[in-house]
Amino acid sequence: MATTGNNANWMRVHQQWGVLDTDEKPGFSPSLYNVEANKQCKSITNAGAHTVIEALEQSKEKYGQRRAAGWREVVKVHEVEESPGGPKREKIELENEFKWMTYAEYHERIYSLASGLASIGVQPRSKLVIYAETQRDWMATAFAAWYNGAEIVTIYATLGEEGAIHGINETEAATVVADAKLLKVLTKILPKCVHIKNIVTVQPCDADLKGVGVYNIDQLVVRGKENTGFKPIAVHPEDVAVIMYTSGTTAAPKGVMITHGNLVATLSGVEHVMGDVMTADDVYLCYLPLAHIFEMGAEIWALATGMALGFGSPHTLTDSGVKLKRPESRGDAVCLQPTFMVFAPAVLDKVYQSVQTKRDTLKGIGKCLFDCGLNSGERHFGRGQVGANRFYNGLVFKKVQQLVGGRLKCMITGSAPLSPEIQKFVQTVLDAPVRQGYGLTETCAGSCAAFWGDNQTSSVGPPTVCAVIRLADWAEGNYMNSDKDKPEIGMRRGEVLIGGPCVTKGYFVNPACPNAELEKKNKEDWEVIDGVRFFRTGDVGQIRPDGTLQIIDRKKDLWKGPQGEYVALSKVEAALKLCEYVEMPMVYGKTGGTYPIALICPQKPRIMALGQELNLTDASFEKLCSTDQVIEKVAAACKAQCKAQRLAEFETPKKFALIAELWTPENEMLTAAMKLKRPIIASHHKAIIDRLY
């Protein structure tokens, strides 16, 4: 059931969310705790569970006959010409209903698979790589490995051949589970991965790989059922559950060691935030990469809560999904009708751009009603309410809500800052609260989250009950705890340090082949203060008077101007994203340069329409992106948006370039979490940058 704009349950219930301790030390803020958290923050468990295996067992007993895991069957894969005579693209025809396993059935599959994996040598502390996109058997494989006391190794599907080789070889993994898409990559790199003994395929496969055993998950499930002597291995909170390779923006990926205790602590943190909103009656749409801690944490929490998990993909999420065969197939969200979703801000940026594009096609009374609806949502937002009033919500925004199934109760975003304008816009048109969370792979994701009653923007809320925050002075960036005494600032500022039971063990170092750089980072990036182990995030934050944290900068994202002024590149990019022509921006500052510039991946439909306006009717998209008239128009619109967002003159890019090729994880310009790989983008477009300077 969707919320309504006037639902008082979403309104702010109190003003104080976090509280500062009295343990201030030179150069550090006092510890910031959740108001309701145990101040000592020593041990957090979820409903008595100490490991994720215990959490799953509890769900099986409590929710055995409820829906657990749902998926859509593939009807047929088509090769379709998107335009007459154009190249053919693969389109997938899917059934428009989800098939389901109950918690009892899903647990039986997991247990049988665990037995099957044991039969091929998966044992305590052995490494099992999951090299696959998000789907039902990804989570089944992870739990099956944990039943054997094994450690799963996750590698982003978009890390490419070198990233996969690095993760497999560094961990010396003997077993790799791969889906059909990534099996092609795995087969290619197999000669360089000498430790692999077994490959388990998610889909049926008849590959014959010399020297390597090839199995299918269904085969191992059958074998496991026949192995009546299987006994699961007892695991403990301090045991490593996951070695999760972060995508990285420069150097080789780093494997973060996440324990069962870390995951259960995060469960407790999320449960505290979500417990009054989500129940076992809710439905969660799984589509973000499970190799990312954000999605893994959300799915484990949903399973522990007894929710129904429907598995989809980013390419089939809505009716306009690029991989969907239309009109036969509907989007995952339309078919599932989820009540809860998590988003990377980049996804909500696209929602904003798509809806704004449709809004601009409206005429007369239609456009007037849409704008009035947005104004209604803006007023409600300022009063701590959600959505527009009933009239506009029912008449204007109902079709927008149907794009994601029409039943959303709430949304959480993470992995990057969310623009205040986009937060208000999405919360209005989807009639559901949008809240930001904050955490890193190194802190098991759920370190901070804004409460549902807190309607302010640019806030990631207070620490969850499994975390504690300190701010460390960063003199180079001019962010100090003493800023609280400056009238124009009035808040403590500094690098964000996260402590508590959610903080992981560190980066994986192979004892047989030690990595000096990672050993150094394990000493420098984690720090013990008063007996609490903290991770230095590299993010810059400030603590608001109500005890919430606001991320205001990134140490690596700063550019120093000629007068010593600092420009927060991500702050400028957030403003540029609101420009009608912009799909994805990257702001760049050259060392020794006198001004910042912007590389813009523009929205193709907008640029093509602009070409028509400028009578450049025969020009291709690529040609328009290099045409001075077009660049000047886009630059003017971008500068106007920077002014509207009250950026200072020195923060506003002086020159712009339009990049026709969109940056994606596939072309290695973005991480799997859709973050800019700044050095790689800058290197790739060096000639353009040199020209702009």
**Interior CA angle at 20 toward 17 and 21, to 5°?**
135
pLDDT interval class at 247 (50, 70, 90)? low
DSSP for residue 146:
H
What single letter denotes the amino acid at residue 6?
Answer: N
Residues 108 and 155 in one domain: yes
The CATH number that applies at residue 684 is: 3.30.300.30
**CB 233: neighbour CB atoms within 10 A?**
16
In a domain, 666, yes or no: yes
pLDDT interval class at 7 (50, 70, 90)? very low
User: Computed from CA positions of residues 52, 54, 55, 56, in that sequence, does the dihedral angle turn out positive or negative?
Assistant: positive
User: Which of 299, 326, 357 delimits the end of a domain?
Assistant: 299
**Which of 131, 140, 245 is CA-nearest to residue 181?**
131
Q: How far apart are the first and last CA of the chain?
A: 54
Cα(41)–Cα(637) distance, integer angstroms: 49
In a domain, 94, yes or no: no
552-577 mean pLDDT: 82
Alpha carbon distances (Å) from 395 to 4, 40, 366, 388: 13, 51, 10, 11
- Cis bond before residue 26 (omega within 30° of 0): no
**Which of 604, 580, 77 is CA-nearest to residue 315?**
77
In a domain, 274, yes or no: yes
Tell me the sheet residues that pair with 598: 587, 656
Tokens of 658: 């339009």
> What pLDDT, on the 0 to 100 scale, is given for residue 400?
92
The CATH number that applies at residue 247 is: 3.40.50.980
User: Rg of the chain's alpha carbons, rounded to an integer?
Assistant: 25
Q: Using one digit for the tens of pLDDT, what is the confidence trace for 64-109? A: 999 999 999 999 999 988 767 778 889 999 999 999 999 999 999 9
> What pLDDT, on the 0 to 100 scale, is given for residue 680?
85
Residue 563 scores a pLDDT above 50: yes
Residues 587 and 652: beta-carbon distance below 8 Å: no
In a domain, 496, yes or no: yes
380-397 mean pLDDT: 92
Residues 121 and 248 in one domain: yes
> What pLDDT, on the 0 to 100 scale, is given for residue 578?
93
Residues 286 and 201 in one domain: yes
Residues 637 and 609: beta-carbon distance below 8 Å: no
Alpha carbon distances (Å) from 217 to 178, 203, 207: 10, 7, 14
Residues 118 and 230: beta-carbon distance below 8 Å: yes
Query: In terms of DSSP bridges, do strands 175-178 and 127-131 run parallel, antiparallel, or are they unpaired?
Result: parallel
pLDDT above 90 as % of the chain: 70
Residue 562 scores a pLDDT above 90: no
> What pLDDT, on the 0 to 100 scale, is given for residue 614?
95
In a domain, 280, yes or no: yes
What single letter denotes the amino acid at residue 139?
Answer: M
What single letter denotes the amino acid at residue 641?
Answer: Q
User: Which of 531, 552, 573 delimits the end of a domain?
Assistant: 552
> What pLDDT, on the 0 to 100 scale, is given for residue 28?
96
Residues 196 and 245 in one domain: yes
What is the overall mean pLDDT for the chain?
90
Residue 633 scores a pLDDT above 90: yes
Number of H helices, E strands in the chain: 21, 30
Residues 471 and 449: beta-carbon distance below 8 Å: no
Residues 489 and 624 in one domain: no
Residues 153 and 59: beta-carbon distance below 8 Å: no
Number of structural domains in the chain: 3
Residues 467 and 597 in one domain: no
What single letter denotes the amino acid at residue 150?
Answer: A
φ and ψ of 237, to 5 deg: -55, -35
Q: Tell me which H or E stretch contains 266.
A: helix 260-274
Q: Tell me which H or E stretch contains 606.
A: helix 604-613
Helix (H, G, I), strand (E, B) or coil at 430: helix
> What pLDDT, on the 0 to 100 scale, is given for residue 38?
57
Cα(538)–Cα(544) distance, integer angstroms: 19
Q: Using one digit for the tens of pLDDT, what is the confidence trace for 407-452? A: 999 999 987 788 889 999 999 999 999 999 999 999 999 899 998 8
In a domain, 53, yes or no: no
Tokens of 366: 């239609």
> What pLDDT, on the 0 to 100 scale, is given for residue 24?
87
Residues 278 and 148 in one domain: yes
Residues 463 and 487 in one domain: yes
Residues 131 and 250 in one domain: yes
The structure tokens 């484990």 sit at: 300
> What pLDDT, on the 0 to 100 scale, is given for residue 74?
95
Q: Using one digit for the tens of pLDDT, what is the confidence trace for 567-611? A: 889 889 999 999 999 999 999 998 778 899 999 999 999 999 999
The structure tokens 């983008």 sit at: 681
Tell me the sheet residues that pair with 78: 91
> What pLDDT, on the 0 to 100 scale, is given for residue 251?
61
Contacting residues for 605 by C-beta, under 8 A, at least 6 apart: 357
> What pLDDT, on the 0 to 100 scale, is given for residue 17?
81
pLDDT interval class at 42 (50, 70, 90)? very low
Q: Tell me which H or E stretch contains 263.
A: helix 260-274
Cα(241)–Cα(686) distance, integer angstroms: 41
Q: Using one digit for the tens of pLDDT, what is the confidence trace for 660-691? A: 999 998 888 988 778 888 878 998 999 999 99
Q: Tell me which H or E stretch contains 424.
A: helix 420-430
Residues 161 and 222 in one domain: yes
127-145 mean pLDDT: 97
User: Computed from CA positions of residues 153, 155, 157, 161, in that sequence, does the dihedral angle turn out positive or negative?
Assistant: negative
Residues 515 and 490 in one domain: yes
Alpha carbon distances (Å) from 662 to 12, 447, 585: 40, 32, 10
Tokens of 262: 């870390």
In a domain, 231, yes or no: yes
- Cis bond before residue 314 (omega within 30° of 0): no
Distance of CA 275 to the CA centre of its chain: 21
Angle separating helix axes 420-430 and 345-360, nearest 10 degrees:
70
In a domain, 82, yes or no: no
> What pLDDT, on the 0 to 100 scale, is given for residue 5?
40
Residues 485 and 566 in one domain: no
User: Computed from CA positions of residues 197, 200, 201, 206, in that sequence, does the dihedral angle turn out positive or negative?
Assistant: positive
User: Which of 243, 270, 299 delimits the end of a domain?
Assistant: 299
Distance of CA 25 to the CA centre of its chain: 34
Domain encompassing residue 206: 101-299
Give the lowest-confidence range in 206-210, 342-346, 389-393: 206-210
Tokens of 239: 């045991």
> What pLDDT, on the 0 to 100 scale, is given for residue 41?
46
